[in-house]
Chains A and B, each alone.
Chain A
Amino acid sequence: MPPMHDALRSPPMRCLLLKDAFRHAPDRTGGAGRDTNAHAYLMLSYLLQRLGLALVTCLFISALTFLIIRLPPGDFVDAYIANLTASGSSVSHEQAEAMRREYGLDQPVLVQYARWMGRVLQGDFGVSMVWRRPVTEVIGDRLWLTMVVSLAALFLTWAIALPIGIYSAVRQYSIGDYIFTTLGFIGLAIPNFLLALILMYLGFRYLGLNVGGLFSPDYVQAPWSWARVWDLIKHLPLPAAVLALAGTAQLIRIMRANLLDELRRPYVVTARAKGLSEMRAILKYPVRAALNPFASSVAYLFPYLVSGSIVVSLVLGLPTVGPLLLQALVAQDMFLAGAIVLLLGVMTVIGTLISDILLIWIDPRIRLEGRA
């Protein structure tokens, strides 16, 4: 039965079969067991290697971060003086010098970096110069909210994009495909800050929504309660929608293209020929295969989860980590900016690591290449 043979050779089927083999390894014959052991060993060394590289990368990221923050002329004290001048005060030369000494800004950049890194390694990220609070506290405040917004946006993106992607692939060149594709491209073409502004205006004008922020004024400082959670949920749709819409178009297109590739494969034809229901014939195998590329995008999701979108957060006035990073960079608050960029770097590295592992797990071809 040649068609069946073909279906077996197609990646999803093989993947499933290999996974089964892997899971049931101990029950198999000795030869297969040795192969699995060698395999596990290779996996382990591969992972260790990746982990080591990840650490070095993080170190490089931190050094680079620090240098880049120091690249523009001036330092935190200059930015601080500028802020005071703009609000009507001023700082004398002597006072500025005293401040530089206080913050250690009179030292060479390398010394400053070494000191900072030394403290970071002990888990102390220093005190933010702008906020005058420990960096961990400043970021911690916003981290959870950022993740809530990002996750909400992520799920919304997937909830919209995946069904549409599947639909447009299955009904390629249908009216529905054209409509969704057009909408998707419009969504992609409109900068999301613009969308944010428009939605914010419409929301305020016609729905009487609260503008900006994630809480109503009454709940900003309130301790956590169900009322506060409800308030947060009421504020979530707008930012989640803005953030989600921009990502949807891309996802729809990826999903559509991947699925189209899969749908043309013989195993789908076989599945249909065998009389599988259309729903099952599409969802069971081709869609799962088409999902593969999403695993590799996990790497980018991680930093996104902790930073959110800077521009959209700024426009919508969301108290997330993104605007914090921007402010820190403008004010040249090295400790805060350094810590956030380091966090983003570490998240990217972890994300890459996880996506690597995911891909190995999902797609055996990568593993084979690793062995060769």
Chain B
Amino acid sequence: MRRREFGATLLAASGLASAAMAQSSGSVRDSALVGELEGPTLVSDPARRPQRFAEAPMLAEQVRAGRLPPVEQRLPQDLMVVQPLRSVGRYGGTWRRGFIGPGDSENGNRLMSADKPLFFDKTGTQIVPCLCKGYEVSADGKRTTVFLRKGMRWSDGTPHTADDWVFWFEDLYKNPDLVPAPAPEMSADGKPGRVEKVDETTVVFIFEAANYLFPYLLAGDTLVGGGQTRQQSDGRAYSVYAPMHYLKQFLPKYSSAEALNAQARAAGFTTWVQLFRNKSDWRLNRDLPTLAAWRMVQPITGQQWVLERNPYFYAVDTEGNQLPYIDRIQMTLAENPEVVNLRAIAGDYDYQERFIDLGKLPILLENRQRSRYRVHLDPGFNGGDTVLFPSLTYTEDKEIGALLADARFRRALSLGIDREQLNEVFWLGLGTPGSVIPDRIIPESPGEEWRTKWSTHEPAQANRLLDSVGLTRKDREGFRLRRDNGQRLRIEIAVAQTLSPTWPQQAEMIVQHWRQIGIAADVKVMERSLALTRALNDQHQIFMWTNNGTESLYLYPRYALPVDPTAGVMGNAHALWFASNGQRGTAPTEPEMKRAFDLMRAAAGQQEAERIKTAQEVWKIIVEQQWGIGIVGLSPAFMGVRVVSERLENVPARTGVSQHIRTPWGARPEQWYFKS
């Protein structure tokens, strides 16, 4: 903590020149640092399909040496043709980047997102082709058919076919040793779906109820849509396909359990399951075939995590040059995020958005010329970088539990917060104060009037609300007294030490604001895993977290409503109740919550237009009930401060920052290139 404070003073001293910029509240979107959302386009017109192909010099060399077939034979017939953002690039170069250790899997996972079944456009709302060239949903919504690219190959040259998809379903997903819990995404209306092969390049997902949402799940960052690299690493075996020809040898079904266990022990593991998880993890096993643009050549467990171009990648530019342009991605271990920031400032990275701290902006700008980089700010789409989540099912103190479950009390807390001040101090004025709803660019957003609803600073109104709850008696210092025993009411804000370095200070500032409405609050700063474990058990009164990712209500509802029992922030007993169809957990007492649950359940069976209306309805209820008290959002705080080398071309002026756009992959690094 002390070190961070020092960093802040250092910045304050050196960043005086930039102070004017920092105070230009509200004008951030007009500043030169925020560009227009843009990205390369995919060419679907068959007439514009290139007829002649070219490849990177490092691959041409291997072709000449006879170690690799020619480029025409490596590319699928069903190519992905990318119209580069500004210009056709040139091959070569190493993209230097930073990561912070073996737990930083997402850093690389995101770069490998070309293996996702489907993907989104630059706004994160429209489905576009990715690994699959297309999809089709039957009229009744029960069958989703996906079309693979004909002639596509794994990075070792083996064809990728529908068999890889069925293999995943039959041999990985259905094996309880590998997948102990079914993916909620793989069922509709509580009944499990299945995967079938139609022909070599066609796969169908069959559900017993209408599931119009499924293609979106295949495009989002979900258990089925995450792609092989994302969902078959870190001990998971989800996603929807797997390299059958390679992984077969590590399954008892195709080998013998004894032989595999012996092999596992020889490798230092105890069971074949551990061996399998190791072999199917792209971060650890460089022999694992992949479909992404790069493949791993140095694992995450060393000083450098290195990726190199996949000679069989399925995309070309409009002139027939096989992508990617950049040869290698070299991620160098930094012991902590501070070091990442320092190295970025020193110009040691070519493109870095991860771990770049918004608070460092003045010093980042100051060193632009010297270290030859550009800085882009990408405001996020999520409504709250910081959100206060009152636990709706808090039972450790009955009086406080009852208050937190009371919408009037939550609204009062929300109206008692001076968001403008928080924005100025902690977001350098670059965020947007308001409720939890996503950016207006997201069709599911209910409209800007809901950004300010119950989310402005109105101490007088807050006081009236608190009086109406029955918290009328105050002590000599002006703090309200509990209704049960007449003691001073004290509320706790739990803060996890992660994601945002300034969360503890933000919470302290909110505590000061609440003094004006007679609410005494304490900040409890906790180590990350303790805070999250307590959140799962509903042991926090109010938990400070973010709703980053929940810009998409259906793909990532966990920070909008208590529906996901694996990620409790706002009353996990309700989430358990929802996920188990009322078998376990606690039924919601607020009728509005029941209605929100019903709307969410109905959404999967609705067509797009209707589904969007439902989402808007849900967001309105969420704001009205203040299940999450949004503080400041739509800011570049999470992965939205980009440091980009001046030499790097075709980088969008603004890119979507969202879980589902897989930042920075949404900016399509395959078509970036280094100027000579």
Contact = CB atoms under 8 A, between A and B. Distances in A.
A204 B498 CA distance: 28
Contacts of B336: 314, 317, 323
B512 interface: no
A315 B84 CA distance: 40
A315 B567 contact: no
Contact of A221 (B181, B274, B301, B306): B306
Interface residues of B, number: 64
A130 B274 CA distance: 14
Contacts of B549: 88
A133 interface: yes
Contacts of B104: 87
Contacts of A319: 303, 333, 335
B304 interface: yes
Contact of A87 (B10, B96, B106, B348): B106
Interface string A57-71: 000000000000000
A331 B102 CA distance: 11
Nearest to A86: B498
A132 interface: yes
Contact of A318 (B102, B268, B301, B335): B335
A114 interface: no
A197 B7 contact: yes
Give the interface residue-count category, chain A: 35 or more
B533 A78 contact: yes
Nearest to A200: B342
A218 B122 CA distance: 34
Given A220-B332, A314-B335, A82 B532 contact: yes
B499 A86 contact: yes
A346 to B, nearest CB: 22
B533 A93 contact: no
A interface secondary structure, majority: helix
A331 B278 CA distance: 19
Contacts of A89: 106, 234
B659 A88 contact: yes
Given A81-B532, A204-B346, A217-B330, A131 B274 contact: no
Contacts of B548: 88
Contacts of A85: 532, 567
B271 A102 contact: yes
Interface in A316-352: 316-319, 323, 327, 330-332
A86 B105 CA distance: 12
Contacts, number: 151
Contacts of B103: 83, 130, 331
A87 B345 contact: no
Given A318-B335, A319-B335, A132 B306 contact: no
Contact of A211 (B96, B302, B333, B342): B342
Contact of B301 (A81, A133, A332): A133
Contacts of B533: 73-74, 78, 81-82
B303 A221 contact: yes
A353 B236 CA distance: 48
Contact of A90 (B96, B348, B558): B558
Contacts of B528: 79, 82-83, 86
A212 interface: yes
Given A204-B346, A220-B332, A315-B3, A74 B301 contact: no
Contacts of A197: 3, 6-7, 10
A78 B529 contact: yes
A287 to B, nearest CB: 39
A66 to B, nearest CB: 19
Contacts of B306: 221
Contacts of A193: 3
A35 interface: no
A205 B311 CA distance: 41
A92 interface: yes
B566 A313 contact: no
B201 to A, nearest CB: 30
A323 B180 contact: no
B443 interface: no
B181 A211 contact: no
Nearest to B564: A90
A99 B274 CA distance: 10
B301 A94 contact: no
A212 B342 contact: yes
B269 interface: yes
B284 interface: yes
A43 interface: no
Interface in B386-439: none
B16 interface: no
Contacts of A130: 101-103
Contacts of A84: 234
A92 B10 contact: no
User: Which of A94, A132, A200, A327 gathers the greatest number of chain B CB atoms within 10 Å?
Assistant: A132
Given A87-B105, A88-B549, A90-B564, A97 B180 contact: yes
A102 B177 CA distance: 10
Nearest to B498: A86
Contacts of A210: 346, 348
A134 interface: yes
A212 to B, nearest CB: 4
Across chains A and B, which 4 residue pairs bring their CB atoms closest together, nearest first? A82-B529, A317-B339, A90-B566, A92-B181
Given A130-B103, A217-B330, A221-B304, 9 more contacts: A78-B533, A88-B548, A90-B566, A133-B301, A138-B301, A211-B346, A213-B339, A313-B335, A319-B335
